[in-house]
Amino acid sequence: MASSVDPVPLMQVALQYARHGEGHVEPNPMVGAVVATADGAIISIGYHQQFGDAHAELNAIQAAGLDTLGNDLYVTLEPCCHFGKTPPCVDAVIQAGFRRVFVGCQDPAPHVAGQGIERLRAAGLQVTVGVCESQSRRLIAPFEMLMLQRRPWIHAKWAMTLDGRIASRTGHSKWISSDASRAVVHQLRGRMDAVITGAGTVRCDDPLLTARPRGARIPLRVVIDADGSSLHADTKLVKSLSQGAVLVCVADHISGKQIERLKSLEVEVLPCAVTKLGRIDLHAVMAELGRRDCTNVLTEAGSEILGSLFDSSLIDEVHIFIAPRLTGGSSALGPLGGLGRDSIPKIPNVQHLRHTSIGDDLLIEADIRRG
Ligand X SMILES: NC(=O)c1ccc[n+]([C@@H]2O[C@H](COP(=O)([O-])OP(=O)(O)OC[C@H]3O[C@@H](n4cnc5c(N)ncnc54)[C@H](OP(=O)(O)O)[C@@H]3O)[C@@H](O)[C@H]2O)c1
Q: Is 363 in the site for ligand X (CB under 6 A)?
A: no
303 binds, among Zn ion, ligand X, none (CB under 5 to 8 A by kind): ligand X
Query: Which letter does DSSP use for residue 170 in this model?
Result: T
User: With CB cut-offs between 5 and 8 Å by kind, which of ligand X, Zn ion, none does residue 47 bind?
Assistant: none
Least Cβ distance, residue 307 to ligand X (angstroms): 7
**Residue 125 binding partner per list ligand X, Zn ion, none, with a CB distance cut-off of 5 to 8 Å that depends on partner kind:** none
CB-CB contact of 17 with 63 (8 Å): no
Contact status: 320 vs ligand X (CB under 6 A): no
Q: Which does 302 bind (CB under 5 to 8 A by kind): Zn ion, ligand X, none?
A: ligand X
User: Within a 10 A sphere around the Cβ of 271, how many other Cβ atoms?
Assistant: 16
- Smallest gap from Cβ 252 to ligand X, in A, equals 12
154 binds, among ligand X, Zn ion, none (CB under 5 to 8 A by kind): none
CA distance readout (Å), 249 to 44, 117, 285, 294, 318: 47, 43, 7, 16, 23
302 binds ligand X (CB under 6 A): yes
Cite the DSSP H helix spans in 65-172: 89-95, 115-122, 133-139, 141-144
The smaller minimum CB distance to ligand X, of residues 42 and 204, is found at: 204
Chosen from ligand X, Zn ion, none, partner binding at 73 (C-beta under 5 to 8 Å by type): none
Residues within window 189-228 making contact with ligand X, judged by CB under 6 A: 197-201, 204-205, 224-227
Footprint (CB under 5 A) of Zn ion, residues 84-103: 89
Identify residues 36-75 at the interface with ligand X (CB under 6 A): none
Q: Which x/- pattern over 60-89 shows residues binding Zn ion (rule: CB under 5 A)? A: --------------------x--------x
Q: Which is nearer to ligand X, 89 or 322 (CB)?
A: 322
Catalytic residue positions, numbered = 57
Asked whether 102 and 79 are in contact (CB, 8 A), the reply is no
C-alpha separations of 275 from 2, 192, 198, 233, 323 in Å: 60, 27, 16, 29, 35
Q: How many CA atoms lie within 13 A of 221 on its CB side?
A: 23
Closer of 77 and 280 to Zn ion (Cβ):
77
Closest approach of Cβ 84 to Zn ion, in Å?
A: 7
Beta bridge partners of 157: 319
DSSP E strand boundaries for the chain: 32-36, 42-47, 72-77, 100-105, 126-129, 153-161, 194-198, 220-224, 246-251, 268-272, 296-299, 317-323, 350-358, 361-368
Nearest to 280 by CA among 197, 350, 163, 340: 197
Residue 161 β-bridge partners: 323
The minimum distance between CB 326 and ligand X, in angstroms, equals 14
Residue 346 carries which side chain, given as an amino acid letter? K
For ligand X, which is the closer residue by CB, 57 or 205? 205
List interacting residues with ligand X (CB under 6 A): 158-159, 166-167, 171, 173, 176, 197-201, 204-205, 224-227, 279-280, 282, 300-305, 308, 333, 337
